[in-house]
Amino acid sequence: MATPDVALGPTSASLPGAGAADVSKQRIFVASQWQLMWWRFRKHKVAVASALVVIGFYLVVVGADFLAYADPNASEAQRSLMPPQRVHLFDGWRFGPYVYAVKGARDLQSFKRVYRTDPSEKIPVRFFGKGFEYRFLGLIPTTRHLIGVDGGRDAAKTIFLLGTDVQGRDLWSRLMYGTRISLTIGLVGVTMSLVLGVVLGGLSGFYGGIADTLIQRIIEILRSIPTIPLWMGLAAALPRDWSILQVYFAITIIISLLAWTELARVVRGRFLSLREEDFVVSARLVGCSQMRTIFVHMVPSFMSHIIAATTLALPAMIVSETALSFLGLGLRPPAMSWGVLLQQAQNVQTVAISPWLMLPAVPVIVVVMAFNFLGDGLRDAADPYGR
């Protein structure tokens, strides 16, 4: 045996200066997949802010009755198309919010109602004031609202934070209730799309073959069809005498029928790429049943992607419903959604005189942006290969 060129060196145990490699001093940190996602998500300030915004909106959904101060259906021709009232926060130096009373009169030349503020009369705004009766959380009857004014029904002694619509109904209160319907329609619709998308996408991706081809073609066909004309057509066909609830569900079904394709594509893509992964193959080789392989091994891998895709699908639903109702084909009065509220702002002449009628557009924009940022943030947090 030839002697080695260099003498054998010391073994690792006797090395000086090798403290950093001492295994016993290492602590092992373990974090679950969701914890990792949460930590990555936290780094995206914008996404976190958006999450708070979304939570805020859904709190409004729960507490709409509380946040509104006027009965959203109480119409009063005397108060039609009042502009928003300015709230003065300080009375002298004390903190005491108040508004000036507004007197309305009919302009004899244009026959329109004109409003003048009356600086002599101050109406204090109270927090937790009394207003119309409702059931808080559907259980507790109460008349307390976030803000209110004394004087109740007197037409001259009221507050209209965002003005009134053509029928004299307070816009702020209607907006609160409208939020409830607009946001929940989104949820219901997305749930339906999710179910359809996951089932069909899963079938397509996991089994492949004919099922895949068929479902893929269907998805492609649906994607090539312009949606709004179809929705309009289907929505217009709903009988006029259906109750609000029936119309509500019919609209969500109509919208979901075309919207599931996006989710199905995501699910299918995930299944396809996961199917070939070594860990899936080894699960099957070890003897896992198909159900187990799917639900225990594959689904957790793309659960986060599904959540992200769902979050991104919500704003589309909300906008679709808003669009349909805006046209008058979706929900109809006395139902209140952002789209229904915007119906009054359909043409530029109306809006030029009463621009506050466009205000329901603001929550639409804010919510859509918030959901988009949130969905982006979730998607980035879910992606194990992202930066």
Partner 1 sequence: MAAEVRPTLLSVRDLKTYFMQDEGTVKAVDGVSFDLYPGATLGIVGESGCGKSVTARSILGIVDRPGRIVDGEIRFRRQAATDAVDGGPVVDLAKLPPNGPEIRAIRGAEIALIFQEPMSSFSPVHTVGSQIVEAIMLHQQVDRRQARVRTIEMLRRVGVSSPDQRVDQLSNQLSGGLRQRAMIAMALSCHPTLLIADEPTTALDVTTQTQILELMRQLQREDGMAIMLITHDLGVVAEMATDVAVMYLGRVVEQAPVDEIFHAPRHPYTQALLRSIPRMRSRSRERLNPIAGAVPHPYDRPSGCPFHPRCPQFMAGRCDAEEPTLRSVGDKHTVSCFLYP
Partner 2 sequence: MLAYIGRRALLAIFTVWAISVLSFVIIQLPPGDYVTSYIAQMASMGSVVTDEEAQNLRIQYGLGQPVYVQYLKWMRLIAQGNFGMSMEWRRPVTEVIGERFWLTVVVSVASLFLTWVLALPIGIYSAVRQYSVGDYVGTFVGFIGLAVPNFLLALVLLYLGFTLFNAHIGGLFSPELQDAPWSMARVWDLLKHLPIPALILGLAGTAQQIRIMRANLLDELRKPYVVTARSKGLTEIDLILKYPVRLALNPFASTIGYTLPYIVSGSIIVSLVLGLPTVGPLLLKALIAQDMFLAGTIVLLLGVMTVIGTLVSDILLVWVDPRIRLEET
Contact partner, 223, from partner 1, partner 2, none, Cβ < 5-8 Å per class: partner 2
Token look-up 């060129």 returns 5
SS (H, E, C) 141-202: EEEECCEEECCCCCCCCCCCCCCECCCCCEHHHHHHHHHHHHHHHHHHHHHHHHHHHHHHHH
Q: What tokens does 210 get?
A: 């004919």
* Binding of residue 287 to partner 1 (CB under 8 A): no
Q: Which are the contacts of 203, defined by CB distance < 8 A and separation ≥ 6?
A: 211, 212, 215
Q: What tokens does 201 get?
A: 């996408």
* Binding of residue 224 to partner 2 (CB under 8 A): yes
Give the angle subtended at the CA of 294 by the CAs of 292 and 300, to the nearest 5°.
Answer: 105
Region binding partner 1 by CB under 8 A among candidate stretches 17-25, 119-127, 139-147, 225-233: 17-25
Measure the N-to-C terminal CA separation of the chain; round to a whole number of Å: 53
Angle between helices 171-207 and 244-275 (to 10 degrees): 40
* Binding of residue 1 to partner 1 (CB under 8 A): yes
Task: Determine which residue in the list 101, 123, 329, 336 makes contact with partner 2, applying CB under 8 A.
Answer: 329
Closer residue to partner 1 in complex, CB, 141/386: 386
* Binding of residue 346 to partner 2 (CB under 8 A): yes
Task: Determine which residue in the list 217, 246, 296, 300 makes contact with partner 2, applying CB under 8 A.
Answer: 217
Site pattern 20..49 for partner 1 (x: CB under 8 A):
xx----------------------------
The answer to whether 149 touches 159, Cβ cutoff 8 Å, is yes
The answer to whether 99 touches 87, Cβ cutoff 8 Å, is yes
Count of residues near partner 2 by CB under 8 A: 40
Task: Determine which residue in the list 50, 204, 293, 322 makes contact with partner 2, applying CB under 8 A.
Answer: 322
Q: Applying CB under 8 A, which residues contact partner 1?
A: 1-2, 4-6, 8-12, 15-21
Q: Applying CB under 8 A, which residues contact partner 2?
A: 217, 220-221, 223-230, 232-234, 236-237, 239, 315, 319, 322-323, 326-329, 342, 345-348, 351-352, 355, 358, 361, 364-365, 368-369, 372
